[in-house]
Amino acid sequence: MTHRYFGTDGVRGLVGRSPMTVDFALRLASAAARVLAPAGGRVLIGKDTRLSGYMFESALEAGFVAAGVDAMLIGPLPTPGIAYMTQRLGCRFGVVISASHNRYHDNGIKFFDAAGSKLSDEVERRIEDLIDEPVVTQSSQSLGRATRIDESRQQYQDFCSSSLPKGMDLSGFKLVIDCANGAGYKVAPRVLADLGADLVPIGCSPNGRNINDACGSTAPELLQLTVPGVRAHVGLALDGDGDRVVMVDELGRIVDGDQILFILATARRAAGELRGPVVGTVMSNLGLELALAERGINFVRSAVGDRYVLAALNESGGMLGGETSGHILCLDKTTTGDGLISALQVLAVMKTSGAGLAELAAPMSKYPQVMLNVKVERRFDPSIDAAVRDATQRVERRFEGRGRVVLRASGTEPVIRVMVEGHDAALVKRGAAEIAGAVEKAARDR
């Protein structure tokens, strides 16, 4: 279903440019209130640390209150924390002001329903149908109220801690935590420290502009240097809104979402706790699929996006899925992707087994993979261009059945993603450059 404003993860864009304007946020709030809380009720509003979050928070608050909905403002909190607290506080829906892993120039607005789940395409379409209508203002006696509930963050912290096996703590672990100067900068270090870890925090000093700036899951180079430098057992890197995590082993090497899935799936299988197939995406490394197959674990692929991973898990009865980027779904622990809870599950495996992160990740061999992002003025389907199709087919023939090509328009950025994977690193690199060149030309010619 094609949307005018909603992408794969809410509405997102450059601050000050449509749709990320104050006027749009006000109209979006009014439309969402009419669809999600037509008889009133409460909405929870959270955000990350971007400077523009203040103005969007105020605009959403005004739109909700004018429509007769009580607005509860919790301040900076990871996206999964908003999902959990929306349910916990009995709200009709929740809102997160964040552009996730993007830099501070961007921002976004995304929604959860009363159950802490992302909205369906149909509900998003109903909201879009009302956005261009005038903002609703109820009579004075029917207006909503706004309250700040920052202290409620403790409930989410307790929930994260409870995802560890009963009686387990993190004493004996030295951890480096990188919060991307984002939404997790308060709660993540507090949870880990309260559980007894010896903690070295980085990326925990937001100033409104440094979110995801040379830190966090999309830029873990500092974490890679810090972990072996301070002789830590492991490093954790969240993204700006805290729903993703990548890890760094004791040698300073990245452990990405595919490897995290492998570690969790094999541990749950060994404990007799794994239910259903593991779900990845079309971008998941072929090495994950093969490593799981060797251990008798079924693996299925969905479209890119955590909502599609979740849909595949629900359809198949699975409990564990995720993306290479570190967006992991542990449905036996929570309802949505949560970087901190995912990291805690890996730490629990390390604690139980006595093995280091490098040892746990070693049995999965990753196929060489190159991802190139081709910037475009407007997103388009690259597969409809004849020259792009020809380039793709040439590259695929060279792999002789031992490689893959995936082309997709990003749902969160104005880029076309070109992913090439195969047994031969040189073929992969050359093929990715060839296809990216064809996509660039197709974009110029449009």
- Phi, psi for residue 385 in degrees, rounded to 5: -90, 125
Confidence of residue 7 (pLDDT cuts 50, 70, 90): confident
The pLDDT-based confidence of 51 (bands split at 50, 70, 90) is very high
Q: How much of the chain, in percent, has pLDDT values that exceed 90?
A: 88
**Residue 275, pLDDT above cutoff 60:** yes
| Amino acid residing at 104 | Y
pLDDT of residue 306: 86
Q: How far is 163 from 155, CA to CA, in rounded Å?
A: 13
pLDDT at 413 over 80: no
Whole-number pLDDT of residue 2:
63
* Coil/strand/helix, residue 318: coil
Q: Given pLDDT bands bounded at 50, 70 and 90, which one contains residue 445?
A: confident
**How far apart are the C-alpha atoms of 94 and 91, rounded to whole Å?**
7
The residue type at 377: E
Q: How far apart are CA 409 and CA 169, in angstroms?
A: 42
Q: Which residue reads 């899925």 in tokens?
A: 321
Whether the pLDDT of residue 304 is over 90: the answer is no
Res 381: pLDDT: 85
In the predicted model, is pLDDT for residue 400 greater than 90?
no
Closest CA to 9 of 312, 309, 245: 309
Domain assignments of the chain as residue spans, ordered by start: 11-150, 162-361, 369-445
Cβ-contact 60, 109 below 8 angstroms: yes
Which amino acid, 365? S
Please determine, for residue 8, whether its predicted confidence score (pLDDT) is greater than 80: no
pLDDT value of position 432: 95
At residue 129, does pLDDT exceed 80? yes
Q: Residue 370: which residues within 8 A CB-CB, separation 6 or more?
A: 419, 420, 421, 428, 429, 431, 432
Q: Tell me whether residue 385 is exposed, middle or buried, using C-beta atoms within 10 angstroms of its C-beta: 0 to 12, 13 to 18, 19 or more.
A: buried
The mean pLDDT of 77-100, rounded to a whole number, is 97
In the chain, % of residues over pLDDT 70: 99
**Token digits for 147?**
């309250």
Q: What is the CATH number of domain 369-445?
A: 3.30.310.50
- 11-150 classified as CATH 3.40.120.10: yes
Identify the band that residue 14 occupies on the pLDDT scale cut at 50, 70 and 90: very high
- Return the closest-CA partner of residue 351 out of 234, 191, 247, 255: 234
Residue 244: count of CB within 10 angstroms of its CB: 29
Residue 156 has pLDDT above 70, yes or no: yes
**pTM of structure:** 0.89
Mean pLDDT calculated for residue range 337-348 = 97
Query: How far apart, in whole angstroms, are the C-alpha atoms of residue 405 and residue 293?
Result: 21
**What's the CATH code, domain 162-361?**
3.40.120.10
Q: Determine the average pLDDT of the residues in 249-267.
A: 98
Active-site residue numbers? 100
Read off the pLDDT band of 241 (50, 70, 90): very high
Question: What does the CA dihedral 367, 239, 108, 322 come to, rounded to 10 degrees?
Answer: 40
The pLDDT of residue 416 is 92
Over range 108-132, report the average pLDDT: 95
Backbone angles phi, psi at 95, to 5 degrees: -130, 140
249: which DSSP letter?
Answer: -
Q: Do domains 11-150 and 162-361 have the same CATH topology?
A: yes
Helix (H) / strand (E) element for 427: namely helix 425-445
